[in-house]
Structure 1
Amino acid sequence: MPRLERILITTDFSEPAGWAAERGAMLAAAHGARATLLHVIAGDVYDRLQRLMGSEAEALQEGLARGTREALESEAEELGQRHGQPPEVAVLTGAVTHAIRDYMERIDADLGVLGASGRGLTRQLWLGSTAERVLRRCRRPVLVTKGPPAGAYRRILVPVDFSRASRVALNWACAVAPEAEVVVLHAFEVPFEGKLQYAGVDEDTINRYRMQARDEATTELGQLVAGLDDGRGKVRRSVHHGYPARVILEQANAMGCDLVVMGKHGRGAVEDALVGSVTRHVLSQAGCDVLVAGSQ
């Protein structure tokens, strides 16, 4: 079972980043973890200052770095007042995505926390560009916050496809919020169902295939969650027919889940620099926080 001992919270001082900072501080307090609040000054900012300001650029750069650290320290102090222990602070300069990824490795962070979009960003591609790039590049678990936290997580949805990534995600769900109810969901589709319909296979036959697939999934789901429930009824199983991304979003909304925990890839995915299509869709469209368990 993973443990939360080091948490890296990234901020650009936007409102979504503030939600991430609040959630990260809450998790640190709940787990007795060390938290670090990080801001990365993009390297091209200094380049632009040099071009625009010439000899005055160096003083402006020093002022920018000093002001950023002061703002971080102020935010950390406020978080400490609300949650008992202020995060450490760090200011870096460089390519934002690479700096975040490398710093997570440097401090051996167990979890990264960031907002779904940053200052001035729209949902470029499928998520705010910084969050998207971090998720593509980072091997460690990343929590993407979608709104202001309203307390500890109460109900977590864990979509599974019985791959190794599913087991990692399930372990993370139990570790992040041990008191929360965990709903383990499998969404299935009958192989070649569309082609069977086009081929004129009758609906009764297709329904038999669906029932067989459901029974097999139910059995495998039972094996996956065996031993997780501690007798308090906090682990539920759910099997639904349909396209996985659609089913996940519908069930997360219908059950009032405040967190979805899922793997970076599904079955057969091998590229660390990519994010699976279902995970991408859920990250983009979910109304609640999403934790991507990474590929460690």
Structure 2
Amino acid sequence: MGYFVRVEPHVKIFVEDIHPAGKRTILFIHGWPLSNRAFEYQFNVLPAQGYRCIGIDLRGFGESDKPWDGYRLDRMADDVRAVVDALGLRDFILAGHSYGGATAIRYMARHQGHGVAKLALFAAAAPSVTRRPGFPYGQPKEAVSELIEQTYNDRPNMLFNLENTFFFQHLSKPFSDWVRQIEYAASGNATAKVAASFRDESLFADLGKIEVPTLILHGIHDKVCYPELAAAQHEGIKRSRLVWFQYSGHGLFYEERDKFNRELVKFIEDPNTHIYAEPNN
């Protein structure tokens, strides 16, 4: 069931709500430059196991409105809060991929984890996608600036080339075409401005404000958000557990989808998730 939630007077966010009578609610936030449709291989499986799956399209992406402004983490987190309040969500699992993971982290810090029981981060764009003093693990800022320039000059070609770094495993051509169709639904303006957001913004101070049990899933071959980012998240979030995906790049929710879904369900159902051992290998 799809519907829209107004988050500002002239901005509506698209929400896909699957199995509203589910036993637990998982709110998914997609990454750049995708939409909630990227979680098809979770939405095909988890509702059958009794979970309510809610996917939102961030502003500028998918079926949401595409205003000229508002493509910073604070505004994205506020949009999520508006959806949470409109739907009356409580005791839910907040799950974010890539820039959606960064948005989820900012939500936890900015809105004090309002309504969230547990947090799941996968290939999250945090604490910084780009290199900074004291944090040499990200991409050069110039590389992201080049993505932005390519977006303004030839966005289809930029997205075609992005696929080479997004996935580790071989993809069929029809699947690749499907992914790009999802990406084409974004506005070029939003694509560029969100890239500027993850180039320029960081979340070092946000990590320590997360109080809920947190699952971190990350592919060891990720060339977008490097594995060192996951290690930094695990170090910065007190109640976190890190699970590595040995055969995945940035698209682990598809590349190792069975393991991904199992780990997510295990985390949701485990009553002892506040007690964590050292990271899995």
Q: Which of 1 and 2 has greater Rg?
A: 1
Give 1 or 2: higher helix fraction.
Answer: 1
- Using structure 1 for the length normalisation, give the TM-score: 0.27
- Using structure 2 for the length normalisation, give the TM-score: 0.28
